[in-house]
Amino acid sequence: MEKGGSAVDSVMEAVAAMEDNGVFNAGYGSSLNIEKKVEMEASIMEGKMLQAGAAGLLTDIRNPVRLARIVMEETDHVFVVGEGAEKLARFRKLERRNPVTPLRLMYYEQQKKALTGGKPQLPKLAILVKEHPELFSLETVGAVALDKEGNVAAATSTGGFPLKLPGRIGDSPLIGCGTYADNLSGACSATGVGEIAIRLVISKSVCASMENGRTAQEASEQAIRLVNTRILSAYNAMGLIALDMHGGIGAAHNSPNMCWGYIKPGMSEPKAWLKAKIVKERL
């Protein structure tokens, strides 16, 4: 960005770097679904023209976020999944990589054992998650940026919730839910239980709050309070990063941890933390 790169370029490269890292649940290192397969998804949005792109049900695209950008810039659509998305990646010669890591295979075995071991009557995955939170750290990746031209962008990428049903789509590729960017307000990317982010259209809510004058930090905390108030299910983990049009940074979560960091002009390296502001209160 210092060399004049756009917000869209920077969120895509930041997310692509995390997809390649192997530590996160995105790209290489994605979680496995109940059938021991990977189905990745990603989205990207820019705030000037409100262009957006997303891809889902991807099995071996090295960088799902790059495919999301291709959907945004080179198709008439916003969201393409499965075979069609794979075909688009083939046309554009996107790199492939087997996303399955030994660590995820080990987690899969542990999670499956917890699901079936001695408790065959578990009615919902949420109960399992509540009993074994250590097995379900979510680790989706996201980035938000504001560039020299005053444009914002956001991107999010994930392997999805561990042990999800095949075909399940979470919040990460859904515009307004996992990702939102609008030059009238700012940008936001979400992590946590996708079904909750979808029902609260949480990234758009954060942007609407910023449009109404809240800072990125205030808007993020407000949205987590909304989760705590409206979602009373056993497992309501949620985390948000946001950026307002004044360059204000927001990060808040109700989970025990959320790794995050930022860099601003003049800083030689980013600052990063394992936790941001933990919000346990309700509205």
C-alpha separations of 205 from 6, 98, 109, 216 in Å: 24, 35, 37, 12
Q: Which is nearer to ligand ASP, 25 or 185 (CB)?
A: 25
Which residue is closest to ligand ASP by CB? 194
Rounded least distance, CB 243 to ligand ASP, Å = 19
Rounded least distance, CB 88 to ligand ASP, Å = 21
Residues ≥6 apart with Cβ < 8 Å to 51: 45, 72, 73
Task: For residue 179, indicate whether it is catalytic.
Answer: no
Q: Are 22 and 2 in contact (CB under 8 A)?
A: no
Binding site for ligand ASP (CB under 6 A): 25, 138-140, 158, 160-161, 170-172, 191-194
Q: At what angle do helices 7-21 and 64-74 cross, to 10 degrees?
A: 150
Q: Which is nearer to ligand ASP, 150 or 256 (CB)?
A: 256
Q: Which is nearer to ligand ASP, 183 or 236 (CB)?
A: 236
Distance CA 230, CA 223 (A): 10
Rounded least distance, CB 150 to ligand ASP, Å = 29
Q: Which is nearer to ligand ASP, 99 or 170 (CB)?
A: 170
Rounded least distance, CB 263 to ligand ASP, Å = 22
Q: 49 by DSSP, 3-state: which?
A: coil
C-alpha separations of 51 from 66, 153, 161 in Å: 15, 10, 27
Which residue out of 116, 140, 158, 215 is catalytically annotated? 140
Positions marked catalytic? 140
